[in-house]
Amino acid sequence: MSPDGKTLKLCSCNATMALDAKALAAALTRGEPLTIHRELCRAEAGKFRDALDAPELLVACTQEAPLFSELRDAAGTDSALRFVNIRETAGWSAEGRAATPKIAALIAAAALPEPEPVPNVEYRSGGQLLVIGPSAAALDWAERLGGQLEPSVLITRDEGGELPSERRYPVWSGGDVRVQGYLGAFEVSWTQENAIDLDLCTRCNACLDACPEGAIDFTYQIDAARCKAHRKCVTACGPVGAIDFSRLERARRESFDLVLDLSPAPLLRRPDPPQGYAAPGADPLEQALAAAKLAQLVGEFEKPRFFEYKARICAHSRSSQTGCNRCLDVCSTEAIAPDGDHVKVESHLCAGCGGCATVCPSGAMRHVYPGVAHQGLRVKTLLDGYRAAGGKQACVVFHDVETGRARVHGVGRHAIRGGRGLPARAIPLEAFHAASVGIDLLLGAICYGASQAVIVAPAGMHESYRAALEAQIGIAQAILEGLGYGGGHFALLRAETPEALEDALWALAPARGVAAAATFHLSGEKRTTLDFAFDHLAKHAPEPRDQVALPAGAPYGRLVVDKQTCTLCKACVAACPEAALQDAPDTPSLRFIERNCVQCGLCVNTCPEDSIALEPRLLLTAEAKQPVMLNEAEPFHCLRCGKPFATRQMIENMTGKLGAHGMFAGIGLRRLQMCADCRVVDMMENRSESTIHDVPGRKP
């Protein structure tokens, strides 16, 4: 039996892995004997069938997962099957004989329950395709795809070709083309630039006969360079009215399910274009691959809703002042847009990278597929199992499920061809996308006992992701270095081949870790998780400190207030989305809770006196969670009732600036020194004084 009561089936893959049954049994089954098979998928398949009476099976083989599933189905059982790769990730390595702790860790993590399901996002596509591009290519692909989809054509440039003799699909022409939307809901707008409206054109060819310059071809577009503007084509078209050189209504807009963009440069220039949009360029092979893919996108589809958003703690904007734009800057699909004081996310465009949650300083944006809580549990289980089996100086290798997985497995296969494979201490862990690995997971891995945590960059990683991950790594490393944890704990490995990744992993020197592994669990509340991590790292710090300097842009720090210019107007308090700045109900003062501050800069941008500056740092004392006084002033008491209503500095500033103004001479200046209620009473008691209604010649 494996952890969580699952039956474990181990195979040495024809003795290419040196598996230690006794050591693995001690780590995984509390000493209950483990059988190591040699050919579980071939000669010993009967042993697998015999185990199918167990409710859950965990098979340490992913290559033959389809075969094992077929055997289960053929046996007519409902055993739940799980699979884990220990061959490429552990056994196939120059250190394969020392990989028992890693194998135990991988099996223990694979036995964990699946993450909680998340809501789905639905798409509906009826196959209405718009082909955009030069006439010959666009018309050709419309003809080819007509039997599978419902094509339309938007000609952007006349490059030969002919419209079909039968009007089987709509054809338009135009420029200034704009595309927005997603699978099943694309909106395409353009400006009709050619004089011939292809919707009205009957293709009678009268204009071709009438044009003496031959400026019109069988795409029924007028070549402006050859046209001499004699307008004989207009006369020939007659009452049909398809040709109009002075057309006023030129803007067009239509809806489609799919878009095949054959433009030389994509109309949607995003790192991750939306589902249902393909821009293969001019290469015929790429065009064929794109067309084949689009042909499959007919019907109803769904994907996970990858994110959760808490607008209440979002630091994007307040009162038309912009603070944090990090999620907008990192999003590769342009799924996030400003929405007043907050942001909005188009879930149909979201690709699930998690980069927005990684850079969000407050935790308002959360990645939930899988979430930090589940990923944190996997990290903790991996490292607990690794340590229990005698492993030391673990390096957690985060990678994505596509290109990252292929490269990690390629490192293992390289070991069979004379390479070294993965080091025994390098434990791979999949994330849906590498950009979802933020400071909470990185520091969490160190707290759980890892020596290092590295991220394998996806192939062709976009610059926004690279910058975001390197910033996270910089902040996390600054915290560990500030507390005396020596060595390089984090890295973004931009290795494009398995061989390069192998070299990068073997080049990593173990760093200094914590003396005792943490027992807390990571949660979806980002700041809470980080509070636990900071406390644990500070408790076991080789060089304890009260505070650590952080790089610019870090989401922790204090505010420096210029008391000489601050009037305690409290505009900053109203602007702060995290309740880091607080008012005092009885005295004019400004208090600050440093651990709440996300360094968004809203207070700086809002302050009318420019009295506030940000100072990134991590304060590790109890003071970080307690209100501290930033500024306080002597209250000014109302001249009439004696109630404090403002600061003396504010009133003196106002009277000094307005005292010379004729409007405030005498009683007006005195009223500035009254509270709001007393000003009203004073005006009612002095009705004989001049008002705006006393202007000569003005009728009451």
**Higher-confidence position of 111 and 193:** 111
Arithmetic mean of pLDDT over the chain: 92
Please give the pLDDT value at position 459: 87
Sorting pLDDT into bands at 50, 70 and 90, what band is 41? very high
Q: Specify the length of the chain in residues.
A: 700
Please give the pLDDT value at position 628: 95
Please give the pLDDT value at position 31: 75
In a 3-state reduction of DSSP, which class is residue 637?
Answer: strand
For 123-300, CATH gives: 3.50.50
Place of tokens 């893959």: 13
CA-angle at 7, arms to 3 and 13, nearest 5°: 105
Q: pLDDT digits over 498-536, tens only?
A: 999 999 999 999 999 999 999 999 999 999 999 999 999
Sorting pLDDT into bands at 50, 70 and 90, what band is 687? low
pLDDT at residue 337 tops 60 = yes
pLDDT at residue 5 tops 80 = no
Phi and psi, residue 371, nearest 5°: -80, 170
Q: Which of 155-159, 246-250, 497-501, 598-602 has the lowest mean pLDDT?
A: 246-250
CATH topology match: 305-367 vs 557-632: yes
Residue of 114, 156, 362 lying closest to 266 (CA atoms)? 156
**Higher-confidence position of 28 and 669:** 28
pLDDT at residue 700 tops 60 = no
**Higher-confidence position of 684 and 310:** 310
Alpha-carbon torsion, ordered 368, 374, 380, 385, to 10 deg: -140
My answer on whether omega of the bond before 113 falls inside 30° of 0, hence cis, is no
Q: pLDDT digits over 59-103, tens only?
A: 999 999 999 999 999 999 999 999 999 999 999 999 999 999 999
Q: Tell the burial category of 424 from Cβ atoms under 10 Å away from its Cβ (0-12, 13-18, 19+).
A: buried
Q: pLDDT digits over 439-449, tens only?
A: 999 999 999 99
Q: pLDDT digits over 284-302, tens only?
A: 999 999 999 999 999 999 9
pLDDT at residue 696 tops 60 = no
**Higher-confidence position of 573 and 663:** 573
Q: Which CATH architecture has domain 305-367?
A: 2-Layer Sandwich (3.30)
Alpha carbon distance, N-terminus to C-terminus of the chain: 96
> Which residues make Cβ contacts (< 8 Å) with residue 485, sequence separation at least 6?
446, 511, 512, 513, 514, 537, 541, 542
Alpha helices in 198-239 (DSSP H): 206-210, 232-237
Both tokens assigned to 545: 């400190």
CA–CA gap between residue 157 and residue 135 (Å, rounded): 6
pLDDT at residue 692 tops 70 = no
Q: Tell the burial category of 119 from Cβ atoms under 10 Å away from its Cβ (0-12, 13-18, 19+).
A: exposed
Q: Would you identify the CATH topology of the domain 557-632?
A: Alpha-Beta Plaits (3.30.70)
Amino acid making up residue 663: M
Asked if 105 contacts 127 with a C-beta cutoff of 8 angstroms, the reply is no
Please tell me what DSSP assigns to residue 202: -
Please give the pLDDT value at position 597: 98
3-state secondary structure 469-488: HHHHHHHHHHHHHHCCCCCC
Q: pLDDT digits over 159-217, tens only?
A: 888 888 788 899 998 899 999 999 999 999 999 888 888 888 888 999 998 998 888 88
Q: pLDDT digits over 253-290, tens only?
A: 999 999 999 999 999 999 899 999 999 999 999 999 99
Ranges of beta strands (E only) in 192-349 are 251-256, 258-261, 277-278, 299-304, 307-309, 317-318, 321-322, 336-339, 342-345
Asked if 509 contacts 488 with a C-beta cutoff of 8 angstroms, the reply is yes
Please give the pLDDT value at position 333: 95
CA–CA gap between residue 589 and residue 570 (Å, rounded): 9
Please give the pLDDT value at position 191: 92
Please tell me what DSSP assigns to residue 608: T
Query: For a pLDDT cut of 90, what percent of the chain falls above it?
Result: 75
Please tell me what DSSP assigns to residue 460: T
CA–CA gap between residue 407 and residue 413 (Å, rounded): 10
Asked if 512 contacts 485 with a C-beta cutoff of 8 angstroms, the reply is yes
Task: Report which secondary-structure segment, H or E, holds 57.
Answer: strand 56-59
Q: Which of 121-130, 163-172, 644-653 has the highest mean pLDDT?
A: 121-130
Q: Which of 4-8, 127-131, 185-189, 384-388 has the lowest mean pLDDT?
A: 4-8
Please give the pLDDT value at position 421: 97
Please give the pLDDT value at position 185: 98
In a 3-state reduction of DSSP, which class is residue 157?
Answer: strand
CA–CA gap between residue 612 and residue 700 (Å, rounded): 49
Please give the pLDDT value at position 80: 95
Alpha-carbon torsion, ordered 437, 441, 443, 444, to 10 deg: -170
pLDDT at residue 32 tops 90 = no
Q: At what angle do helices 21-28 and 100-110 cross, to 10 degrees?
A: 40
Count other Cβ atoms within 10 Å, centred on residue 472.
24
**Higher-confidence position of 225 and 101:** 101
Alpha helices in 167-224 (DSSP H): 206-210
Question: Where exactly are the structural domains of the chain?
Answer: 3-83, 123-300, 305-367, 372-513+523-541, 557-632, 637-694
Asked if 469 contacts 398 with a C-beta cutoff of 8 angstroms, the reply is no
Q: What is the mean pLDDT of residues 608-629?
A: 96
Please give the pLDDT value at position 663: 64
pLDDT at residue 587 tops 70 = yes
Asked if 545 contacts 478 with a C-beta cutoff of 8 angstroms, the reply is no
Radius of gyration of the chain (CA): 34
Q: What is the mean pLDDT of residues 288-317?
A: 97
Please give the pLDDT value at position 664: 67
